[in-house]
Amino acid sequence: MKSGAKRLSSEDRRVETIEAVIELAADTNPEDITTSAIAAKMNLSQGALFRHFPTKAAIWQQVIEWVAERLLSRIDRLAGSQADPLAALEAMFLGHVDFVAEHPGVPRMLMGQLQHTGMTPAKQAAHALTTNYATRLRRILAAGKGAGDLPASLDEEAAATLFLGMIQGLVVQALISGDSARMREDAPRVFAIYRTGLLQRLPGAVGGA
């Protein structure tokens, strides 16, 4: 262990490693992040790092699982605090954008894993995150239809896809501009357009208002 390194429990050290990777990913292509760079950021030797993670792939998997746990926990808490489905969707949307703005390395990590041609453990974790997220969206959209807050003709699958696509669009623009704070400014206006669209009954649709 390098001089000056803190003595932490194994769990605390794993969390510190995950946070170091996410911080590095904010300014570095995740594929270019080496274990030596991670260890240096933590003021550890590579040997000390590998006592907590057997491989670099294991680090990447833990990073994606950490992201999934915290992001889903946040949106569940925010959505659960709202009785109205539309308010729950807005809280989720703005909360997700805040999460990305707080951790700009996260979208780089997720996009990097989803671009792999093979199915790595980290890519599986990323797929599980998007699947679980979409399930939550469809459940809220269905509840809104059932309560009459949303048109019975609403396509829940398409609405969930568009919700995620809007966040991805904001993220890509932030990555291009290098200004992740702007996502917070744009998010309310973007959601306002989405909300208007949700409330429109499709032409020729049969069903509720």
Return the pLDDT at 202. Answer: 58
Residue 49 falls within a domain, yes or no?
A: no
Residue 39 falls within a domain, yes or no?
A: no
**What averages of pLDDT result for each successive group of 10 residues across the chain (209 residues)?**
56 90 91 92 90 90 94 96 94 96 90 81 92 96 94 94 96 86 93 95 53
Return the pLDDT at 200. Answer: 85
CATH number at residue 147: 1.10.357.10
Residues 125/68, Cβ–Cβ less than 8 Å: yes
Return the pLDDT at 110. Answer: 87
Return the pLDDT at 2. Answer: 47
Residue 156 falls within a domain, yes or no?
A: yes
Residue 31 falls within a domain, yes or no?
A: no
The pTM of this model reads: 0.86
Domain containing 127 equals: 57-198
The span from the CA of 81 to the CA of 83, in Å, is: 7
Return the pLDDT at 185. Answer: 93
Count of the separate structural domains present in the chain = 1
Residue 135 falls within a domain, yes or no?
A: yes
Residue 64 falls within a domain, yes or no?
A: yes
The span from the CA of 61 to the CA of 84, in Å, is: 35
Return the pLDDT at 4. Answer: 46
